[in-house]
Amino acid sequence: MTGRVLAMAAPFIKHEPEAGEPMRAAGLEVIHGPARTPIATDRLIELLAGCAAVVASNECYDAAVFDALPELRTVARWGVGYDSIDVAAATAAGVIVTNTPGAVTESVADQTFTILLALCRRLPEQMEVARSLQWRHVEGAELWRKTIGIVGFGSIGQAVARRAAGFSMRILACDPRPQPWAMGTLGATPVSLEELLAEADIVTLHANLTEESRGMIGEAQLRAMKPSAVLVNAGRGGLVDQAALARALREGWIAGAALDTLEAEPPDADDPILTAPNVVLTPHMASATAETAARVNATVCDNILAALAGRRPQFVVNPQVYETGVRPPLAGG
């Protein structure tokens, strides 16, 4: 088959040319965009001109993009979340949207515990003390036998629960579509969000970002947590009212926060979260491992090759598009 694919996802571009080799072997041309750079719709449309597919990052794909690009057949999201894609508009335009569920699960769960441990053991402060040669006592807190509340008990939430079991933690789980077999197997107790916030020593967020879940952790929820509790977000920045969180940290409503993702990435230089006390920040790197990159890159290529050849990809976000009508496959697929 012949056609052009635009790569916008930094982890894909980083591992080029190996990442795109399956597509090149099929006859496709792979070009690179400005990875990890906020991009205006007009510029995205310009880059996508003549492309049949895109390896998408967090840039916005809306009706204006689909209307301007009749040759675009599929948007292949690098990763799990697709809140930057207007799925309804894609479906109406006949564009197939795919993602890569499962491929990032273990690395995100690892990062959840990495930043949680860094926060509770005050690791950044310990490192500063060690390098200063002015050694002093920096006292942290244990995770052993604490209560962890997992909001969103899908594959990543369940992977976090498996790690929590290693710390002999009590596990609470809140999910709009609970899976009793998974909770039973992992020793998790299903609870409401209100119960979870009131009882958990650690609240960790792994819910999908939707219009209903956006800002689900705001002032009321932060005030409902224990003053000794901490919040972890390695999911989506939009799940948290960031201004309320910064205030909660300054005023001591909660003891701390560990964040791998923010509402705006990167944040403005004067964002209050950057100067809030007792916060550990990482730059949305939960899936940044070589192993994850290899898995996701392979799945992205599989999704694109199937979509462009007229086959149904394994991971389709908008299966309704096959009922309403998809844009035609590439010749030679």
> Is the previous residue joined to 313 through a cis bond, with omega within 30 degrees of 0?
no
26 lies in a domain?
A: yes
Rounded to whole angstroms, how far apart are CA atoms 222 and 253? 7
Per-residue pLDDT band for 107 (boundaries 50, 70, 90) equals very high
Residues 235 and 114 occupy one common structural domain: yes
Residue 201: CATH number of its domain: 3.40.50.720
Span 201-259, pLDDT tens digits: 999 999 998 889 999 999 999 999 999 999 999 999 999 999 999 999 999 999 999 99
Task: Count the helix, strand and coil residues of the chain and give each as a percent rounded to the nearest 5.
Answer: 40, 15, 45
Whole-prediction pTM value?
0.86
> Exactly one of 236, 263, 295, 327 is catalytic; which is it?
236
Residues 22 and 83 occupy one common structural domain: yes
Residues 114 and 260 occupy one common structural domain: yes
Rounded to whole angstroms, how far apart are CA atoms 120 and 143? 8
Residues 174 and 56 occupy one common structural domain: no
For residue 169, give every residue at least 6 positions away whose Cβ sits within 8 Å of its Cβ, in sequence order, or none.
143, 144, 145, 146, 147, 148
Residue 322, token pair as written in the block: 């096959």
pLDDT given for residue 36 in this prediction:
63
265 in active site? yes
> Exactly one of 18, 128, 194, 265 is catalytic; which is it?
265
330 lies in a domain?
A: no
333 lies in a domain?
A: no
Residues 13 and 132 occupy one common structural domain: no
136 in active site? no
174 lies in a domain?
A: yes
Residues 8 and 136 occupy one common structural domain: no
Residues 30 and 112 occupy one common structural domain: no
> Exactly one of 73, 77, 122, 284 is catalytic; which is it?
284
Mean pLDDT of the chain: 95
Total tally of structural domains belonging to the chain: 2
Span 109-147, pLDDT tens digits: 999 999 999 999 999 999 999 999 999 999 999 999 999
Rounded to whole angstroms, how far apart are CA atoms 57 and 220? 32
Task: Give the number of other CB atoms < 10 A from CB of residue 85.
Answer: 24
For residue 329, give every residue at least 6 positions away whose Cβ sits within 8 Å of its Cβ, in sequence order, or none.
73, 307, 308, 309, 310
Range of the domain at 63: 3-103+289-324
Residues 147 and 257 occupy one common structural domain: yes
236 in active site? yes
332 lies in a domain?
A: no
Residues 228 and 305 occupy one common structural domain: no
329 lies in a domain?
A: no
Residues 182 and 277 occupy one common structural domain: yes
Do 313 and 100 form a contact (C-beta atoms < 8 A)? no
